[in-house]
Amino acid sequence: MQIPETGSYCHYVSKLKINHPDRIYHDNFYGKEVHDDNELFGRLILEINQAGLSWTTILQKQDNLRKAYSNFNIKKVSMYSNDDIESLLSNAGIIRNRLKINAIIYNANKIIEIQKDFGSFYLWLKKLKCKDIEDWIKIFKSNFKFTGPEITREFLISTAFVKGAHVKSCPSYKY
pLDDT per position as a tens digit, 62-101: 999 999 999 999 999 999 999 999 999 999 999 999 999 9
Give 3-state DSSP helix, strand, coil % of the chain, rounded to 5.
60, 0, 40
Position 139 scores a pLDDT of 98
Quote the CA–CA distance of 57 and 149 in Å, as a whole number: 21
Quote the CA–CA distance of 147 and 142 in Å, as a whole number: 9
Residue (of 19, 9, 7) closest to 173 by Cα position: 9
Position 149 scores a pLDDT of 97
* Contact indicator for 165, 172 with CB cutoff of 8 Å: yes
Domains, the chain, ordered by start: 1-32+168-175 (no CATH), 35-158 (1.10.340.30)
Q: DSSP string covering 28-42, please?
A: HTTT-----HHHHHH
Read off φ and ψ for residue 19, nearest 5 degrees.
-95, 5
Helix/strand/coil for 160:
coil
Q: Which amino acid is at 19?
A: N
Position 175 scores a pLDDT of 61
In the chain, pLDDT over 70 holds for what percent of residues?
95
Q: How confident is the model at residue 5 (pLDDT cuts 50, 70, 90)?
A: low
> In this predicted model, which residue has the larger pLDDT, 130 or 144?
144
What secondary structure letter does DSSP report for 116? Answer: H
Q: How many CB atoms lie within 10 A of CB 84?
A: 17
* Contact indicator for 28, 166 with CB cutoff of 8 Å: no
Position 174 scores a pLDDT of 78
Q: How confident is the model at residue 129 (pLDDT cuts 50, 70, 90)?
A: confident
Q: Is the dihedral of CA 79, 83, 87, 89 positive or negative?
A: positive
Rounded to two decimals, what is the model's pTM? 0.93
The overall average pLDDT reported for the chain is: 95
